[in-house]
Structure 1
């Protein structure tokens, strides 16, 4: 749960987007590395090769500083600070931290990238907090020199303080780590004997392959961090017969770079549905042939990508084991030429194996195996990333007042959205767990003929008892049940309880008395549920009214019409619930066999205005012309009742008469045969015995 929340945070978003911004820079770096190889193969002047090598080396050395600036700029957008000014501040802080890492040694340099990714996430909020203090401001924000000048000047003091705190923290951390010394005891003799019996180069290769991938997934440069372990793997020479050597790792394990990402390139080219990913893959082909994969590490990105993390670790391990087995079986020769990791793929196979095609075929097999492993994870990731137009439109409506660039960045964050979906699912499951063991019940709200005050029906409404015996309204739990796709079971359960109750009330109910039950759209489209509904309707016949929302009509029209015909054939009636709130309510009246409409409360609330009264009476007049029954819900005040048109087949429901009552209380209401009278000057409801004369002036 916490990991998912972390993936949806602004900090995680800043890291992801800053890596995307690095793509052009990394493309230049990859091109230079490729030119180094090309110039060497083509025999160009040594000065040209040295220039490309120096340029590529300079860009690689500068990469942590570029990450500092990109992450800081993205974070500045989130905290509404000057993006350019903050980017330069972060670069300055990065330079100072890099000097500290250089002084700490080669092992500390491995953490250049992680610090460049993580420290700006804290530095920029610190700058924002410091800038809120009045004593740190050197200029009026509304200075005549312009907003940008004012923002930059006011960042001077916060920047000095923030950079000092950050660099000081790094220095203290390095000093602490330098003071720690681990005095590990020597391994026991039996363990040393077991280790001697193992193929140590193979074990070292496995540990290096897994560790290198895991470190890069966190943004840590695995090559520098695990350099002592790499040195335990022997170099490929004619006098050493070890299967796993450094050339073996470069030729058969890390094809394309850390994570054997040339296989990922193949999977992207043939299986991706995202155009940007295919373009990135094609651009990565040439660098991947010399085991350079920064373009994928930062461009996709692969760092902090939990969807592609499993194959990123598994593919190099699978390549190592496959090539090791093939070499042991004699299918592939032992490599005897020591070649650097960035030697061109396929060419290095021929050089290291003495020109044998088996090594070349081994590389092809490893690439195809890796692509097969990457493909399903890639498809799953892309499905999770797929945005929706509705979500984008809602985000735009919410963020319209913010800066245009900030709004554009926030419109579609598919990884964050996918994390939010998982969080929502976990929250939903927890809510459903709270419902387990709770008591559900059906209450009944009276429906009254307004002129005579006669009780002519009721609506069945679901309720839940909380742990303290209180009543929980459906708005608190029906939404969760609907998201969990449990509404079919709920509808059938409510209808079954209504059927049992009607049987108990049969002797008490007056002639024409009916019970209305809401049915969800999904229930009518479920064959087994429909059969159950028809069976219950056949028992209740004219006593039953099924209320269907307009969403029901948006599916299979022929199937809906057939379901209506079957239900009405039992004698039950069908009403359109919340009538008038949909965009095509009127078209349903002649396209589907319905018996009545329930006018939504939103119309009842407008009866206080002349225009609202005209619209309301127009709807009632249309229903009267079509000989449809009308149920008016949400009548809570006497003045609303007085505004209703006097016409036949009109029924009123609302708190003006009564709230929904539990079965015992409603049963008492039926047995007493009460009628409801509302006098124009009163708001209260008066219960009259049938023998009394009723006079209502509306």
Structure 2
């Protein structure tokens, strides 16, 4: 059940993401539609020279479309996952070109890679490679700069190997498909051969493969036979065949492969999803000229198990209807090969020797297509085929998707613009200042010789101005909190080399829930301890209570592994959220830090009793307790009465830089 929900979640994310990507490409596709429309208009007006100029620009727009798709997809995914897009985009282009050029997947007129499916896949693979193996920004001031540099080089080398493997796999696939196509003997001039030909075209198109390229030999033979038959008919030597190139182009590809003009009309007539309606309206200029990429990828149709069925079946039904109508003499035979970009209805008129019957037949086929697409489409958007949606169901649907397509994009892109701003802030911090650690003592009121500090990260700009840790949320937003954790671990361990560790001084460092749930964190801490020559017993790891309510087995394993090394593990800010005694008992913590919020109203009997109850945690769990946020003598006395010996707060000392912490520690040692 969980797996099905997970698959559904991934699929829904795929649907949303692919729709957004293709909306971002909408200006390019609309510009292409406009240039085609103007070109055809100029042709009709007899201005062929001017028309050829617009068709040239259309070819350019079509030529850059796949490579633009690659760039935008990689940028979108990297931004969504908080990875620097300036790294991901070059990786994606490298992989796309490296796979396309050696395998001759390029446009002959421009030399640019021309396969949208390969563009989409390489962008996704490249982005995921960069998301899965995040690296720190190179910082020459870090002690491990050379090691980090070599890691990045190794990362890029591994990426090149993946690219080479994919290029070879593509070469093998193309060789296999070429070999397989030679064994596929189809004759589109027969009924069974024609149905098989159309079925394979639709099936390949539904997974983003250009079926005309795969069946090139059959298509080429069909075109040549059609030309010969039309030439013989024109001189009276032979009757017109029912089946021919014009038959397929005029009646089975209206609005593009899959007769997607029917799907477009189905959306406009029956959809209650404003996002899809807006998409359909946007696709009209393209569908008029039988270009269906916006619907193909925007809904999407490709890899969509529901919409693939009518996408493949509608042309097959159309084949039977059109063949029957022409064979019975209800409509003229197709007497010419119509340009595939000729708009529907007009193409039917021209194809059937300027006959209105061809227009009527196309209208019938389009209507049948709408009827076939309708139940599948309504099922796809979550509507019942038998009953109209009630208003409550309608509201439920709108809450599960965004209310409008443009609203969806505005919200999503607004989020990513915000992330872009956050990324810019973080990059500015990394390049124009430094992260430093301040240390706040944890005081044992019964044993002043016991030394311990909590390390708290701060940011210092070029002027020396300190910024409190409000920037931590930026790292969360970017999905880079693990990188900040690793940076903090380095800074703390480096500082600990100058602390009186021989006197039993402990330093605690905060680790996010994401890091403590990562198996890699154990190896990283062990490696950094060895690098800085720090005894594990001098280190304490604090995790927030968020981690203990996630039910993650890996967290428990990591806590046990840290303790096995001799590292103390503490739960920080306990009582500030939803963690409770049962949650606490799941993990074997050494220390529990009670959040200051629990102290705020202890003048009231109820709050006082609650704090006293929480102070009993040590008796149940065996954990050492620390009272956080002690700011007054009254609060100090109260926590002492509760039996808590270790306190932390402004009453004792504020967080201080390393040099002041050293002085504070030395004074304690002397006293």
Calculate the TM-score normalised by the size of structure 1: 0.48
Q: Distance in 2 between matches of 1:365 and 1:179?
A: 41
Q: Aligned ranges for residues 148-163 of structure 1 at < 5 Å? A: 157=153, 160-161=156-157
Q: Which secondary structure state, in structure 1, belongs to the residue aligned with residue 104 of structure 2?
A: helix
Structure 1 partner of 2:56? 54
Q: Which secondary structure state, in structure 2, belongs to the residue aligned with residue 55 of structure 1?
A: helix
**Do structure 1's residue 164 and structure 2's residue 153 form an aligned pair?**
no
Q: Distance in 1 between matches of 2:296 and 2:35?
A: 17
Q: 1:325 to 1:183 in 2, by over 3 A?
A: closer
Q: Which secondary structure state, in structure 2, belongs to the residue aligned with residue 101 of structure 1?
A: coil
Q: Among 85, 88, 99, which residue is 1:86 paired with?
A: 88
**Do structure 1's residue 40 and structure 2's residue 82 form an aligned pair?**
no
Q: 1:141 to 1:332 in 2, by over 3 A?
A: farther
Contact 2:105-2:113 at 8 Å conserved across structures: no
Q: Distance in 2 between matches of 1:403 and 1:30?
A: 29
Q: Deviations over 1:65-118 (max 9, x none)?
A: 122112212221343211344224312432332212217999xx9993322222
Q: Aligned ranges for residues 96-495 of structure 1 at < 5 Å? A: 96-102=98-104, 112-132=115-135, 138-139=138-139, 157=153, 160-161=156-157, 164-177=160-173, 200-233=189-222, 234-235=225-226, 237=230, 238=233, 239=238, 241-383=240-382, 387=397, 389=399, 405=418
Q: 1:312 to 1:65 in 2, by over 3 A?
A: same
Structure 2 partner of 1:23? 26
Q: Distance in 2 between matches of 1:174 and 1:271?
A: 41
Q: Distance in 1 between matches of 2:29 and 2:371?
A: 27
Shift in Å, 1:363: 0.5
Q: Distance in 2 between matches of 1:183 and 1:263?
A: 35
Q: 1:380 to 1:14 in 2, by over 3 A?
A: same
Structure 2 residue runs without a partner (length 5+): 143-148, 384-393, 404-411, 422-602, 614-671
Q: 1:228 to 1:156 in 2, by over 3 A?
A: farther
Shift in Å, 1:30: 2.4
Q: Distance in 2 between matches of 1:391 and 1:53?
A: 39
Q: 1:91 to 1:51 in 2, by over 3 A?
A: farther
Contact 1:110-1:222 at 8 Å conserved across structures: no
Structure 2 partner of 1:74? 76
Q: Distance in 1 between matches of 2:351 and 2:140?
A: 68
Shift in Å, 1:320: 0.8
Q: Distance in 2 between matches of 1:335 and 1:179?
A: 36
Q: Deviations over 1:391-443 (max 9, x none)?
A: 999xxxxx9xx9775699xxxxxxxxxxxxxxxxxxxxxxxxxxxxxxxxxxx
Shift in Å, 1:324: 0.7
Q: 1:275 to 1:59 in 2, by over 3 A?
A: same
Q: Distance in 1 between matches of 2:177 and 2:160?
A: 28
Q: Distance in 2 between matches of 1:155 and 1:75?
A: 23
Shift in Å, 1:348: 2.2
Structure 1 partner of 2:454? none
Shift in Å, 1:25: 2.1
Contact 2:99-2:170 at 8 Å conserved across structures: no
Shift in Å, 1:120: 2.6
Q: Deviations over 1:465-508 (max 9, x none)?
A: xxxxxxxxxxxxxxxxxxxxxxxxxxxxxxxxxxxxxxxxxxxx
Q: Distance in 1 between matches of 2:54 and 2:18?
A: 30
Q: Which secondary structure state, in structure 1, belongs to the residue aligned with residue 101 of structure 2?
A: helix
- Whichever of the two has the greater Rg, that structure is 1
Contact 1:123-1:162 at 8 Å conserved across structures: no
Q: Deviations over 1:608-667 (max 9, x none)?
A: 9745899xxxxxxxxxxxxxxxxxxxxx9xxxxxxxxxxxxxxxxxxxxxxxxxxxxxxx
Structure 2 partner of 1:523? none
Contact 1:311-1:373 at 8 Å conserved across structures: yes
Structure 2 partner of 1:675? none
Contact 1:34-1:287 at 8 Å conserved across structures: no
Q: Deviations over 1:188-207 (max 9, x none)?
A: xxx99xx9xx9853333322
Q: Deviations over 1:21-60 (max 9, x none)?
A: 322222222222223222211222x332222222221222
Contact 1:71-1:117 at 8 Å conserved across structures: yes
Q: Which secondary structure state, in structure 1, belongs to the residue aligned with residue 119 of structure 2?
A: helix
Q: Distance in 1 between matches of 2:257 and 2:153?
A: 42
Q: Aligned ranges for residues 664-683 of structure 1 at < 5 Å? A: none
Shift in Å, 1:338: 1.8
Q: Deviations over 1:539-562 (max 9, x none)?
A: xxxxxxxxxxxxxxxxxxxxxxxx
Q: Aligned ranges for residues 540-555 of structure 1 at < 5 Å? A: none
Shift in Å, 1:319: 0.8
Q: Distance in 2 between matches of 1:84 and 1:307?
A: 36
Q: Deviations over 1:520-550 (max 9, x none)?
A: xxxxxxxxxxxxxxxxxxxxxxxxxxxxxxx
Structure 1 window deviating more from structure 2 (254-263 vs 160-169): it is: 160-169
Q: Distance in 2 between matches of 1:224 and 1:252?
A: 20
Q: Distance in 1 between matches of 2:107 and 2:64?
A: 18
Shift in Å, 1:331: 0.7
Q: Distance in 2 between matches of 1:257 and 1:27?
A: 16
Q: Deviations over 1:339-392 (max 9, x none)?
A: 222223222222222222211110010011111111222222223796554899
Q: Distance in 1 between matches of 2:333 and 2:200?
A: 25
Contact 1:64-1:94 at 8 Å conserved across structures: no
Contact 2:205-2:302 at 8 Å conserved across structures: yes
Shift in Å, 1:255: 1.0
Contact 2:251-2:318 at 8 Å conserved across structures: yes
Structure 2 partner of 1:651? none
Q: Which secondary structure state, in structure 2, belongs to the residue aligned with residue 100 of structure 1?
A: coil
**Residues matched between the structures, number:** 391
Q: 1:183 to 1:87 in 2, by over 3 A?
A: closer
Q: Distance in 2 between matches of 1:25 and 1:182?
A: 32
Q: Distance in 1 between matches of 2:77 and 2:279?
A: 25
Q: Distance in 1 between matches of 2:251 and 2:303?
A: 25
Contact 2:67-2:113 at 8 Å conserved across structures: no
Structure 1 residue runs without a partner (length 5+): 143-152, 394-398, 409-607, 615-635, 637-698
Q: Distance in 2 between matches of 1:390 and 1:61?
A: 37
Q: 1:63 to 1:329 in 2, by over 3 A?
A: same
